[in-house]
Amino acid sequence: MPEITISGADGDFTGYLAIPKKSPAPGIVVAQEIFGVNQVMRGVCDWLAAAGFLACCPDIFWRIEPGIQITDKTKAEWERAFQLFQAFDVDKGIDDLRDTLAHLRGHKACTGSVGSIGYCLGGKLAYLMAARTDTDCSVGYYGVGLDEHLDEAKSIHNPLLLHVAGKDQFVPKAAREKIVSALS
């Protein structure tokens, strides 16, 4: 079954796990967007598993409301997503991602090498995983709020790749320039 339980420092939470056909394989912690572990995030995990990775997207909103699975299709869902985003504790989220990293490293289908990837909120979390954990590598796509955590860049010791769009409604030009300047 693709849903698993992860034992964390603050309690148990669930995650979606996609296992590749051939294992052991490297693992990837998939940090969710603000819409929860929805079909898009499960699809990312399935895509990564098809490419040969053990991929897990943990429910990092479990402290707010477990099992969030909304889309970006309606105004009401966007409003709910932003409520979740505002209520989300980034530090606790990193704790959950760190616990997921440990879970994957100990999984029988994992080689022990585990990276992290994230989109939007997850892109920010991928950056923070690079700064705050021993993840083997991190990739962030259009991470929001990175400019608020640039002082943590000095703690990054493993590969980090960030994709930050030149025109992004959630990452202002000034923030993008600050990110590029600080991390170049």
If you average pLDDT over every residue of the chain, what do you get? 95
pTM of the model: 0.95
> What pLDDT, on the 0 to 100 scale, is given for residue 87?
97
**Range 7-12, long-range pairs (CB < 8 A, 24+ positions):** 7/99, 7/103, 8/95, 8/96, 8/99, 9/95, 9/99, 10/63, 10/92, 10/95, 10/96, 11/62
Return the pLDDT at 114: 98
| CATH class of residue range 3-183 | alpha beta
Average pLDDT over residues 160-178: 86
Q: Is the pLDDT of residue 1 over 80?
A: no
Burial class of 13 by CB neighbour count within 10 A (0 to 12, 13 to 18, 19+) = buried
Give the model confidence (pLDDT) of 29-39 as tens digits: 999 999 999 99
- pLDDT of 92-126, one tens digit each? 999 999 999 999 999 999 999 999 999 999 999 99
Query: In the chain, what are the domain boundaries?
Result: 3-183
Tell me the per-residue pLDDT of 122-158, one tens digit each, with 9 for 90 and over. Answer: 999 999 999 999 999 999 998 889 999 999 999 999 9
Position 74 pLDDT exceeds 60: yes
Position 174 scores a pLDDT of: 86
pLDDT at 176: 87
Which pLDDT band holds residue 78 (cuts at 50, 70, 90)? very high
